[in-house]
Amino acid sequence: MPASKNALLRYRTIDDCLRNRLREWTLQDLVNRCNDAMMDYCGTSVSVRSVQKDIEFMRSDSPGYNAPIVVYNRKYYTYEDPDYSITKTPVSPQEIKKLNEAISILKQISGFESFTGLEDMICRLEDRAHSLDSSIGPVVFFERNEQLRGLHYLPTVYQAIVQKKVLSITYQSFKSRNAYHYFYSPYALREFHNRWFVFGLHEQAEHILNFALDRIESLEIVDNMDFIENNDFNPETYFNDFIGVTKINDFVETVRFEANRKDAPYILTKPLHHSQRMVERKSDGNVIFEIDVIINQELIRELMAYAEGIRVLSPEHLQRTMRNKYLVGLSGYQG
């Protein structure tokens, strides 16, 4: 269990004690109460020094609670304001700033985990919401793959992008027999089908390269190397013309395909690409669509996911590719 949740439990226990003004609380009394709570919750104990640090944290303005904890008679702890509680503490400007950073990311991705510096704050906010209405449980659930490798690299890669730091990466692609080392300047992160990719340049690369985080064997920030700037790379527009993460060229083509009456409603409500448009609705219920994209493997996989539900009409080379793939797949079922 993360240490931040243990600390949160201690803060709540100390808060409950100091709000109870029917008795006097020594430091040892607070330690005993924290020990009881920790043993009940996770079977661990807490030291006097840990509780002292907790009190210092609660007193601090940032990142703490600015709690008015005072000591009287050189022995007993209490709140100077009898109505104070950490559950009533407003969100600080620092927390609002971090929340805005998180929101800007969550607008683009789902389930960004381990955002550096947010764990304690999120625990506090969740706990505060829970204290207001404990009957409400989670209602929004994102698709997640707990077994996906490389997710622990996300915070480091993110910080390297923001701070314009070079990454030392050891990487082995699915197609390579060996791992290779790169000094890599990262520009952007992208998630596709629950896999994460970083886009950037290394010294030997002429074009933007992406690395899948689940194929990275080691990664760390290098402080003594110059970051390779690339003013031509704009992530706001770079991903506009293709599906997925593979940009093999800049040649955008109009792909026309026909969806049968069963799958057309799904494609209407969840377009394959933002350029998708309906060209014709046929009398049999089938619908013809067009999208303007760079043709890559991710597009082909998206089309094949509908199997018999989609038939590519043009361009001809993509139609041939789809036909050949279906024929190869069919041969695997012929005994």
pLDDT in tens, 116-159: 455 555 555 555 545 544 454 555 555 666 667 888 888 889 88
**Per-residue pLDDT, 227:** 93
In which residue ranges of the chain is CATH 1.10.10.10 found?
Answer: 3-88
Q: In 3-state terms, what secondary structure has residue 303?
A: helix
Tens of pLDDT, residue by residue over 158-200, are 889 989 999 999 999 888 888 999 999 999 999 888 889 999 9
- Report the alpha-carbon distance of residue 315 to residue 278 in Å, rounded: 17
Yes or no: domain 3-88 corresponds to CATH 3.90.850.10 = no
Query: What are the tens digits of pLDDT across the range 271-302?
Result: 999 999 999 999 999 999 999 999 999 999 99
Alpha-carbon gap, residue 162 to 157, rounded angstroms: 9
Mean pLDDT for the chain overall = 84
Whether pLDDT at 94 is above 80: no
Which pLDDT score is estimated for 205?
Answer: 79
Q: Domain 151-238 adopts which CATH fold?
A: SH3 type barrels. (2.30.30)
Residue 110: pLDDT band with limits 50, 70, 90: very low
Query: What pLDDT was estimated at residue 108?
Result: 46
pLDDT for 142 equals 56
Q: Which has the higher per-residue pLDDT, 69 or 41?
A: 69
- How high is the pLDDT of residue 109? 46
Report the share of the chain in percent with pLDDT over 90.
58
Residue 127: predicted pLDDT: 58
**From CA 130, how far away is CA 273, in angstroms rounded?**
39
Domain(s) of CATH 3.30.70: residues in the chain:
253-331
What's the CA gap between 116 and 127, in Å, rounded? 19
Residue-wise pLDDT tens digits, 249-275: 889 999 999 999 999 999 999 999 999
CATH annotation of 253-331: 3.30.70
Please give the DSSP secondary-structure letter assigned to residue 25: B
Q: How far is CA 274 from CA 242, 261, 267, 279, 291, in A?
A: 10, 21, 12, 15, 8
pTM: 0.62
| Position with higher pLDDT, 92 vs 149 | 149
| Cβ contacts of 2 within 8 Å, gap of 6 or more | 119, 123
Domain limits, CATH 2.30.30, in the chain: 151-238
Cis peptide before 2 (omega within 30 of 0): no
